[in-house]
Amino acid sequence: MSTKPSVLFVCVHNAGRSQMAAGWLRHLAGGTVEVRSAGSAPAETVNPAAVQAMREVGIDITDQTPKLLEYATAESSDVIVTMGCGDTCPVFPGKRYEDWQLEDPAGKGVEAVRRVRDQIRERVEKLLSELNLSEGRHERSPAS
pLDDT (tens digit per residue) in 48-59: 999 999 999 999
Starting at the edge strand found earlier in the chain, the sheet holding 79-82 runs 34-39, 6-11, 79-82, 96-99
Q: Write down the pLDDT at residue 133.
A: 53
Asked, for residue 138, whether it belongs to a domain, the answer is no
Mean pLDDT comparison of 68-72, 95-99, 106-110, 118-122, highest-scoring range: 118-122
Asked, for residue 57, whether it belongs to a domain, the answer is yes
Confidence of residue 3 (pLDDT cuts 50, 70, 90): confident
Asked, for residue 142, whether it belongs to a domain, the answer is no
Q: Write down the pLDDT at residue 142.
A: 37
Confidence of residue 87 (pLDDT cuts 50, 70, 90): low
User: Residue 115's domain is classified under what CATH number?
Assistant: 3.40.50.2300
Contact 105, 50 (CB under 8 A): yes
Domain enclosing residue 106, as ranges: 6-133
Task: Report the share of the chain in percent with pLDDT over 70.
Answer: 85
Catalytic residues: 11, 85, 89
Residues whose CB falls within 8 Å of the CB of residue 138, separated by 6 or more in sequence, listed in order = 3, 4, 5, 78, 131
Q: Write down the pLDDT at residue 40.
A: 87
Mean pLDDT of the chain: 87
Give the global pTM.
0.87
Q: Is 4 helix (H, G, I), strand (E, B) or coil?
A: coil
Residue type, 1: M
